[in-house]
Structure 1
């Protein structure tokens, strides 16, 4: 490990490792399936299902890991005129955090309903519970919602992550 890797928090290293593992298994499964289909005329039926499941998990792990780093899309240039107005900036920050929290509640509620529905069925080839597909959306919305709630309660300022006037 290099010095930059050691500086990262444990959750960031864990999420990057989980995403890398998902990507490695997906790439291997798809590569093997392609070679078997075009080279030998038959493939592995589980490859497609496994790749789909791992892709969904990888996307939501990445979304949850990106939130505390401020890497989600933001239109911070709309708030730049408020930088010198602390009360207006605080009001907009609280509004943004509340909107993120509301979005997490809505996504989490819908994902949880899909988890419950999926408990009674299984995937066709691998036989895993269909609840495993919407579960990462629920966990992601829970994680981002908790982070947004903590930021809301602490009244943490928005991190623009740069010092330029226009994005």
Structure 2
């Protein structure tokens, strides 16, 4: 899947999660304050969708270069191509390592959640840590591909504008 189509699909999935969450919370608020009763499943559904939305967004933000970056530190090496290339490889390797560690922890939580169900909706609680596992796997694969290709760090995030001033 091309990056642009992946980006559109991720944005559509996040918009759908947000729309369902907003509708569920709105209906629940109206029912509670207007009629004295609410929908208990609304909170569980909103929590589940929020977790999925955040992890989809984190995955989509990585190839777009929208994650937090320490450009002030990295920019110092821009004039030294070899040092910048080595630092880029180190950063990609550290991203793979960090995503692997978080993914391993998420996998452990998925295993724990397979044996239990949510209180109200009754879905397997493994669905809560599953998006973190999938997001970490996808980010680790993207960072590993950048490491193998030798892709230099993208110094976006306003770094070029700061240099022009």
TM-score, structure 2 normalization: 0.94
Q: Match for residue 141 of structure 2?
A: 146
Unaligned runs of 5+ in 1: 1-6
1:33-112 to 2 correspondence within 5 Å?
33-112=28-107
What value does the CA root-mean-square deviation take over the aligned residues?
Answer: 1.5
Deviations 1:61-106 (A, max 9, x none): 0000000001011111111121111110011111111110110010
Select 1:15's aligned residue among 10, 16, 20.
10
Give the conservation status (yes or no) of the 8 Å contact 2:71–2:155.
Answer: yes
Select 2:127's aligned residue among 126, 132, 137.
132
Q: Match for residue 164 of structure 1?
A: 161
**1-structure distance, mates of 2:74, 2:20:** 42
Give the conservation status (yes or no) of the 8 Å contact 2:28–2:39.
Answer: yes
SS in 1 for 2:117: coil
Give the conservation status (yes or no) of the 8 Å contact 2:92–2:143.
Answer: yes
**2-structure distance, mates of 1:98, 1:74:** 15
Aligned length in residues: 161
Please say which of residues 71-80 and 49-58 is displaced more in the overlay. Answer: 71-80
SS in 2 for 1:48: helix
Unaligned runs of 5+ in 2: none
Give the conservation status (yes or no) of the 8 Å contact 2:75–2:155.
Answer: no
Deviations 1:33-76 (A, max 9, x none): 00000000000010000000000000000000000001011111
1:113-124 to 2 correspondence within 5 Å?
113-124=108-119
Q: Match for residue 3 of structure 1?
A: none
Q: Match for residue 25 of structure 2?
A: 30
Shift of the alpha carbon at 1:165?
A: 3.9
**2-structure distance, mates of 1:31, 1:153:** 47
Please say which of residues 30-39 and 82-91 is displaced more in the overlay. Answer: 82-91
